Amino acid sequence: MMAHLPVMQVMVPLLAAPLCALVRNGRVAWGIAVASSWAAFWIAWEIFQVVHSTGAISYSLGGWSASEGGIEYRIDTLGTFVLMVVTLVGAVVTPYALESVGKEVDKSKQALFYAAFLLCLAGLLGIVVTGDMFNVFVFLEISSLSAYALIALGKDRRALRASYQYLIMGSVGATFIVIGIGMLYVMTGSLNMANLAILLPELSSNRTIPVAFAFLTVGVCLKLALFPLHMWLPNAYTFAPSAVTAFIASTATKVAIYVLLRLFYTVFGSDYSFLEMQLGTYLLPLSLIAIFSMSLVAIFQANVKRMLAYSSLAQIGYIILGISLFSSTGMTASILHLFNHAVIKGCLFMALGCVMYRLNSVELDDMMGLGKKMPLTMGAFLVGGFGLIGVPFTAGFISKWYLIQGALEKGLWPVAVLVLLTSLMAVVYIWKVVETVYFSEDPGSVNSDCSEAPIGLLIPTWTLAILCVYFGIDATLTTFGASSAVANLMGIGS
Partner 1 sequence: MESNPILRIATKIMTPYILMFALYVQFHGDYGPGGGFQAGVIFAAAFVLYALIYGIETARLVLPMGVAALCGALGVLIYAGVGIATMFLGGGFLEYGFLDSHDAEHGQHLGILLVELGVLTTVFGVMVVIFYSFAGRGRVEE
Partner 2 sequence: MSYPLMLCMIVSIPFMGAGLILLTGKYPNLRDSISFVVATILCASVYQLIEPLRQGSLHEVTLLEVTTGISLALNVEPLGLLFALVASFLWIVTGLYAVGYMRGHHEKNQTRFFACFAIAIGGAMGVSFSANLFTLFAFYELLTLCTFPLVTHHGTPEAKRAGRVYLGILLSTSVGLQLLAIIWTWNLTGTLDFRPGGILGGTASNSVLSILIALFVFGVGKAAVMPFHRWLPAAMVAPTPVSALLHAVAVVKVGVFTILKVAIYTFGLSTLSELASTPWLRWIAAVTIILGSLVAFTKDNLKARLAYSTISQLSYIVLAALLANEFAIIGGGMHIAMHAFGKITLFFAAGAILVAAHKTDISDMRGLGRKMPLTFGAFFVGSLSIIGVPPAGGAWSKWFLGLGTLEANEQGLLAVLMLSSLLSLVYLLEVPVRAFFSSPSGVEQETGVKEAPWPCLVAMGVSSGLTLGLFLFPDFLYEMMKMVFGS
Partner 3 sequence: MSALSFLNYWFVIILMMVGFYVLIAQGNLVKKIVGLNIFQTSVFILYISAGKITGGTAPILDTQWSVYSNPLPHVLILTAIVVGVATSALGLSLVVRIKEAYGTIEEDEIAQMDESL
State the minimum distance, in angstroms, from the CB of residue 26 to partner 2: 40
SS3 for 241-265 is CHHHHHHHHHHHHHHHHHHHHHHHH
Cβ-count burial 11-33 (b if 16+ within 10 Å, e if not): bbbbebbebbbebeebebbbbbb
> Which of partner 1, partner 2, partner 3, none interacts with 207 (beta carbon under 5 to 8 A by kind)?
none
> Which of partner 3, partner 1, partner 2, none interacts with 418 (beta carbon under 5 to 8 A by kind)?
none
Amino acid at site 181: I
By CB neighbour count within 10 A (0-12 exposed, 13-18 middle, 19+ buried), where does 384 fall?
buried
Please identify which residue in 18, 228, 285, 392 interacts with partner 2, judged by CB under 8 A. Answer: 392
Question: Please, what sign has the CA dihedral across residues 270, 485, 69, 170?
Answer: negative
Choose between 73 and 166: whose C-beta lies nearer to partner 3. 166
Please identify which residue in 35, 424, 455, 492 interacts with partner 2, judged by CB under 8 A. Answer: 424
Please identify which residue in 47, 355, 362, 416 interacts with partner 2, judged by CB under 8 A. Answer: 416
Question: Please, what sign has the CA dihedral across residues 258, 92, 480, 396?
Answer: positive
Determine contact, residues 311/295, Cβ cutoff 8 Å.
yes
Please identify which residue in 171, 270, 405, 440 interacts with partner 3, judged by CB under 8 A. Answer: 171
Cβ neighbours of residue 411 under 8 Å, at least 6 residues apart? Answer: none
Q: Binding segment for partner 3 among 164-172, 281-289, 363-371, 469-477 (CB under 8 A)?
A: 164-172
| Whole-angstrom distance, CA of residue 87 vs CA of residue 44 | 7
Choose between 27 and 161: whose C-beta lies nearer to partner 3. 161
| Whole-angstrom distance, CA of residue 37 vs CA of residue 118 | 8
Q: Binding segment for partner 3 among 158-166, 245-253, 320-328, 368-376 (CB under 8 A)?
A: 158-166
Please identify which residue in 63, 68, 411, 441 interacts with partner 1, judged by CB under 8 A. Answer: 63
Choose between 139 and 397: whose C-beta lies nearer to partner 2. 397
Cβ neighbours of residue 86 under 8 Å, at least 6 residues apart? Answer: 44, 121, 124, 125, 128, 251, 254, 255
22 interacts with partner 1 by CB under 8 A: yes
SS3 category, 58: strand
| Whole-angstrom distance, CA of residue 422 vs CA of residue 400 | 11
Q: Binding segment for partner 2 among 170-178, 205-213, 222-230, 475-483 (CB under 8 A)?
A: 475-483
State the minimum distance, in angstroms, from the CB of residue 114 to partner 1: 13
Choose between 10 and 82: whose C-beta lies nearer to partner 1. 10
21 interacts with partner 1 by CB under 8 A: yes
State the minimum distance, in angstroms, from the CB of residue 180 to partner 3: 11
Among positions 104-143, residues that touch partner 1 (CB under 8 A) are 115
Q: Which parts of 300-327 fold into alpha helices (H)?
A: 304-324
Kindly list the residues in this chain that would bind partner 1 in the complex (CB under 8 A).
4, 7, 11, 14-15, 17-19, 21-22, 24, 59-63, 115
Kindly list the residues in this chain that would bind partner 2 in the complex (CB under 8 A).
390-393, 398, 401, 404-405, 408-409, 413, 416-417, 420-421, 423-424, 427, 431, 435, 438-439, 441, 472-476, 479
